[in-house]
Amino acid sequence: MKKLLLTLGSGFCVFVLLVLAGCGGSNTSSGGSTPSSGGNTLNIVFLPKAINNPYFDTAAKGAKQAATALNGSFKQVGPSTASASDQVTWINNLTAQHVGAIVVSANDPNALSPALKQAMQQGIKVVSYDSDVTPDARQLFVNQANAEAIGRIEVQLLGKQLNYTGQIAILSAASTATNQNTWIGFMKDELSKPQYKNMQLVKIAYGNDDDQTSFNDTLSLMQAYPNLKGIISPTTVGIAAAARAIESVNKGGKVALTGLGTPNQMRKYVEDGTVQQFALWDPGKLGELAYYAAAALIQGKISGQQGQNFSAGTLGNYTIGTNSVVVLGPPTVFDKTNISQFNF
């Protein structure tokens, strides 16, 4: 018993002594290799939802370009699986290092707030990209998706392919999915324009962002509507499953498919002609813009107020909108001619 208490006591003493020694030492010596937190260097760290994800790796590439252009430093850290609490641990790590800015794609808008607010109290700039946090926990949100542009472009792409005639359907994610429902709202609005008067939206199916459900939904759409000419799937899971379903019943070319997809999952279907065109934002540009935004915050060129301007290199000039949101711009359209340039 005495021994146990002795161990406990001496353990804590050693710990406390070392802590004290460390605190005293860190003032006099600078043994670390980490760059100083001085104001003139751009020490910007990206914290994606998860690392080893092609989407975020592409964003990182864009951010690196911006870092090179601005002569700043770029680092990417993050959890190996998309977890909100792991991201909190990372935010705390970065706060302790006093980095210049944290650029984060949140796994949960609220869970990250307390940690991000703590970071901001320490003078760290916080920019969210791809997936926002609560507005009071960041200076800026770099939004990849202008909901209106995304909704309208999908109808425009399909309209062109179908010569503006025929029955069409939508294969969405969950019926409650906020993003998809907003986009579908703009699709319906686009469809109400006179040039689409010969196109009828016959059904909205909900594949719940589940591959098998979306696959089955596509098959039943084609059975229930034999004259179906086109499908829009505004979800990356849905569009890949729909392409597979169309191919499995040899309706490639007879039923047109478009929507939101990633080049890697759609490459095969674009090359074999099942899909002509689809859209998505370019995550590389998103990362690039987010880096420029974080740099402008660190340099004091902007504070995150609505109406402020900043330059994002080759991407051009951007203005901060309501709720401190910066919108990347219109989505990129992928087809046979350009798909080979993208890897995400």
Partner 1 sequence: MKFLRQQLSSWSWEVLLLVLLVLTIFLGNSLSPYFLTPFNLSLMVEGFIEIAIMALSMTLIIIAGEIDLSVASVLGLSSVMLGVTWNAGLPLWLDMIIALAIGMLAGLFNGLLVTRLGLPSLVVTLGTLALFRGLAYVILGSQAVSNFPSGFTTFGIGDVPGTLIPWTFVLFVLLALVFFVVLHLSWIGRQIFATGNNKEAARFAGIRVNRLKLLLFVLSGLLAAVAGIVFTARISSARADNAVGFELYVVTAVLLGGVNIFGGRGSLVGVILALFVIGGLRNALGLNNISGDIQNIVIGTLLVLSVLGPNIAQRIQAAASRRRLATGSSKTSVKGG
Residues within the interface to partner 1 (CB under 8 A): 1, 3-4, 7-8, 10-11, 14-15, 18-19, 22-23, 25-26, 30-32, 34, 45, 51-52, 75, 77-81, 83-86, 88-90, 92-93, 95-98, 108, 110-115, 118
Residue 127 in 3-state DSSP? strand
State the DSSP code for 36.
P
- The least CB distance from residue 141 to partner 1, in Å, is 18
Q: Which is nearer to partner 1, 86 or 211 (CB)?
A: 86
Q: Which is nearer to partner 1, 100 or 263 (CB)?
A: 100
Asked whether the beta carbons of 326 and 145 are under 8 A apart, the reply is no
- The least CB distance from residue 78 to partner 1, in Å, is 7
Spatial separation of the C-alpha atoms in residues 219 and 241, rounded to whole Å: 10
Spatial separation of the C-alpha atoms in residues 122 and 119, rounded to whole Å: 5
- The least CB distance from residue 29 to partner 1, in Å, is 9
Q: Which is nearer to partner 1, 93 or 319 (CB)?
A: 93
- The least CB distance from residue 72 to partner 1, in Å, is 16
Spatial separation of the C-alpha atoms in residues 43 and 99, rounded to whole Å: 6
Nearest to 208 by CA among 187, 232, 238: 238
- The least CB distance from residue 105 to partner 1, in Å, is 15
> Which residue pairs from 112-115 have beta carbons closer than 8 angstroms and sit at least 24 positions apart in sequence?
112/84, 112/87, 112/88, 112/137, 113/137, 114/88, 115/88, 115/91
Q: Which is nearer to partner 1, 88 or 171 (CB)?
A: 88
Q: Which is nearer to partner 1, 6 or 249 (CB)?
A: 6
Q: Which is nearer to partner 1, 12 or 314 (CB)?
A: 12
- The least CB distance from residue 92 to partner 1, in Å, is 4
User: What six digits make up the tokens of 70?
Assistant: 């601005």
Q: Which is nearer to partner 1, 32 or 307 (CB)?
A: 32
Task: Return the H-helix or E-strand segment holding 242.
Answer: helix 236-248
- The least CB distance from residue 16 to partner 1, in Å, is 11
Backbone angles phi, psi at 180, to 5 degrees: -60, -40
Asked whether the beta carbons of 98 and 39 are under 8 A apart, the reply is no
